[in-house]
């Protein structure tokens, strides 16, 4: 079964995100879907043909996590955008964030600071499935730093392609625009 690229054109027109930036980002995302499918095919063929003890198999296997996570993280990112209005202050997400960070504001400061770190990658609010605790993580590139068995709730892309077209090197301005467009209902739904 091949993965199919999803259509996120519903988020076009968000304030603070040009169509050019978003359409380019959709194109990049589709590239990850194509590469994920291609790697699955190639690795499966190598398995059938008895080529697993080769450096080629090892390198493609390593690359697979990067392509797959690139695909999945972009889906989570686009899905948690396009919202109208702020977070529900009475909702279960804010209640949980307050429990684990002291206040919603403390969580927001930690998440934004994570996203503003030097380097390319992702800021992700994760829920630890074992304890229910909410923790912000820095994910390097697409595949390094994911906490095992945790559930991603809010995903923010901080690769330069996510903002340079509209904001140049002003990543903090992009992060503010991202926050204005979070689809909090989608985030709430991911909460376990
Ligand atoms: Fe991206």
104-121: per-residue pLDDT in tens?
Answer: 999 999 999 999 999 999
Sheet holding 150-157, edge to edge: 134-140, 121-128, 150-157
Domain total in the chain: 1
Ligand 1 centroid distance, CA of 99 (Å): 31
Ligand 1 centroid distance, CA of 52 (Å): 31
Ligand 1 centroid distance, CA of 171 (Å): 14
Question: What is the maximum span of the chain, computed from C-alpha positions, in angstroms?
Answer: 57
What's the pTM?
0.97
Here the CATH number for the domain that contains residue 48 is: 3.55.40.20
| Per-residue pLDDT tens digits of the chain, which is 192 residues long | 899 999 999 999 999 999 999 999 999 999 999 999 999 999 999 999 999 999 999 999 999 999 999 999 999 999 999 998 899 999 999 999 999 999 999 999 999 999 999 999 999 999 999 999 999 999 999 999 999 999 999 999 999 999 999 999 999 999 999 999 999 999 999 999
Ligand 1 centroid distance, CA of 29 (Å): 7
7 within some domain: no
The domain containing residue 104 runs over which residues?
A: 17-192
Q: What whole-number distance in Å separates Cα of residue 128 and Cα of residue 31?
A: 30
């Amino acid at each position: 079964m091949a993965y199919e690229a999803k259509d996120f054109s519903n988020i076009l027109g968000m304030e603070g995100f040009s169509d050019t930036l978003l359409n380019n980002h959709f194109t990049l995302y589709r590239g990850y879907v194509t590469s994920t499918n291609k790697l699955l095919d190639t690795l499966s063929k190598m398995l059938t043909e008895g080529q697993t003890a080769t450096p080629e198999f090892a390198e493609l296997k390593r690359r697979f996590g990067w392509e797959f996570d690139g695909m999945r993280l972009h889906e989570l990112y686009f899905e948690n955008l396009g919202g109208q209005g702020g977070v529900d202050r009475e909702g279960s997400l804010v209640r949980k964030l307050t429990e684990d960070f002291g206040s919603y504001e403390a969580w927001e400061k930690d998440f934004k600071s994570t996203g503003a770190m030097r380097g390319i990658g992702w800021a992700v609010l994760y829920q630890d499935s074992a304890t229910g605790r909410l923790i912000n993580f820095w994910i390097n590139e697409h595949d390094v730093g994911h906490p095992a068995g945790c559930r991603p709730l809010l995903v923010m892309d901080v690769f330069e392609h996510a903002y340079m077209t509209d904001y140049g090197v002003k990543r903090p301005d992009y992060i503010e625009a991202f926050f204005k467009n979070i689809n909090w209902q989608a985030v709430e739904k991911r909460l376990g």
